[in-house]
A and B are shown apart, each in its own frame.
Chain A
């Protein structure tokens, strides 16, 4: 009997000890990757919610991994702090900038930083907003750093929202999509007068604070927008 018990104990000990020999010692997703989408024309590329992304493909394990994407923030920065350490192919995509075809390889570790430089399709210059009663007049000029081969310019419109997160897909329809202007022209065929745009947004609610910007949409693969910066507008009470 005693012998049997001791044998059973021995067996259990062997099982228990062998069961614990393999521990998951692989590091968690503690690496991070952050940086800026720098415009060749100065400053960061201005984006909207998920209008540009950084695509990552981890090539540490497989030559054909499933891609993952980091959406850029409104100010043209991006950050993902829950990545696995390793070798990644990275590339910015989504527009509205001249497409980049060559990926670069980055060793992503804790606090890895990398800035991408992109050439925007269009710049929105001299963006001004003037308020006349409850009518907001937005004027701006568009200018292409490179005009040859630029995708067709489709349309332009204001984006107005009550928060500073304002852009395509984050705007009040009656103040934004309702004022869409169709252009549908090649940049090189546009006259100087057509490149200066003025939009009157009417019936803004008095006593409210709004955030406004304008965008120009191009017929590239993503039908992406180039945006202006965001301005704050207080509509005074009558």
Chain B
């Protein structure tokens, strides 16, 4: 009996073992998500796309021109922007600190797009052919966006359309640079595919066909001006001789035409934001009510919950208006004077006397007031009380006073906001002040995109969620106007510019020229990270930023008259800015040159 038991046990063990041993162990690893899972469902593709969208080179609130694109939870130093090397602002950069770039080289992201474009056609059965085509169009748009980020920095870069096999021989992996012209043409073709294949509408944050057209108008305008102006003002070198940087001047008109045609595609589908009859409030709302705005073409969103929020509100205004942190971005008087000279001086050269700082804002263009916080403006119930110091009395002209060395001027300054002069506060709570970095050095603060509705207690770091408008219709109109005027179509340029001017609350122009188009672009797109690239593609950066120094507008209180005066003085950082001609192109990153000698020759003079 016992034996039988033993036999049964032995048998069952053997059988059990043999059954389980026949189980296939050779199964796909369950902890790795394969292409079938990702590309077989729409949710999978969406999550893969989210990854690609996150990496897009969008120069938003958090972008640091010397450090790169930031997508983390604590990228709070939003005042490190390109506006503070171009004279739109003065800020944390000590000079032209961003000319060499930060070594942007997004071939990892481009690889993801290439995989997407390779995999999608295999999944038409699960996703439907219509959906696959739309997604392929989106892929082409995304790839164009990455190449645009590369081309505007380096000129010609290797065009890689198929994901490289890491096992391939080294000679195949070490690709050569393509010519600059070919890269811009490739970007144009990719965006054409995007336009043809994508649907008319898309959820916020994702591209549709008009986003592709809008980006094309921008990219082709860049290429056109590089061809036109880069063939006059350039740095010689082997990379130029081989066409890796520079485009022939004869190609300019072709690119201008492409830019114009692409911009025209948006007509009737997007329009300028004009919901509030009050021009000032309308221009403020434009940047804060992007949700259903007819002007917002392509937006980037932020979320406290997902730890992607930005810090624009906490870093554009001083601590006086916020719950934490500091500001360090100060618009210059030079920017403000694009709108014309401020009425701060009388005919005889003496400074005009004001009863109240806020009087200065009377009669100024609403767009200017919505772009920059002037002395006397209010935010969250508090006043911008900018005051550089006190003059016990003031006589003579503004120019003579400013020309004097500081130690022979009769003003009273102070090291802090607590010091009083005969019971009167010497400097304002909001500066200007040179003792620390957090108060204005120019007499102005940034207003564009600042959410004035946020209660002060919640204006903290990484707590701002207003979306960034990467592409808006006003830019498309400006692209169109610039291309039109370069092509000699002044009528179209005048119409486009006047649309923008009327919305801004400015008087429309009766005639137009290139200078006016460029100036309108600077005014409309101030602080939106365009002007740095505009200076570069117009090839005027080395002329504008030639030992350049910028000015501020310093409010003073004249004690015996009980009045305010404003003096135009050098900004208080006293910085100067110089743009080397070689900065028109950034150097190919050293690490990449080390890995791939075929990327030589490097751009001229590096």
Binding site for B on A (CB under 8 A): 62-64, 66, 93, 99, 177, 221-223
Contact = CB atoms under 8 A, between A and B. Distances in A.
Interface of B: 234-236, 542, 546-547, 580-582, 590, 593-594, 597, 600, 604-605
Given A62-B597, A63-B597, A222 B581 contact: yes
Given A221-B235, A222-B605, A223-B546, 20 more contacts: A62-B597, A63-B597, A64-B593, A64-B597, A64-B600, A66-B590, A66-B593, A66-B594, A93-B605, A177-B547, A221-B234, A221-B236, A221-B581, A221-B604, A221-B605, A222-B580, A222-B581, A223-B542, A223-B580, A223-B581
Contact of B236 (A64, A99, A223): A99
A65 to B, nearest CB: 10
Contacts of B581: 221-223
B94 to A, nearest CB: 15
B118 to A, nearest CB: 32
Contacts of A62: 597
A166 to B, nearest CB: 17
Nearest to B542: A223
Contact of A221 (B546, B547, B582): B582
Chain B interface mostly helix, strand, loop or mixed?
loop
Nearest to B238: A101
Contacts, number: 25
Most chain A CB atoms below 10 A, which of B582, B600, B604, B605: B605
Nearest to B241: A101
A63 B597 CA distance: 8
B380 to A, nearest CB: 41
Nearest to A155: B546
Contacts of B605: 93, 221-222
B400 to A, nearest CB: 16
B244 to A, nearest CB: 14
Q: Which 6 A-B pairs have the closest CB atoms?
A: A221-B235, A64-B597, A64-B600, A221-B581, A221-B236, A221-B605
Nearest to A180: B547
Nearest to B605: A221
Nearest to B546: A223
Most chain A CB atoms below 10 A, which of B235, B542, B547, B604: B547
Nearest to A101: B236
A62 B582 CA distance: 25
A124 B336 CA distance: 41
A35 B579 CA distance: 31
Nearest to B582: A221
A183 to B, nearest CB: 13
A99 B547 CA distance: 24
A177 B593 CA distance: 39
A222 B582 CA distance: 8
A66 B594 CA distance: 9
Contacts of B582: 221
Contacts of B547: 177
A148 B581 CA distance: 22
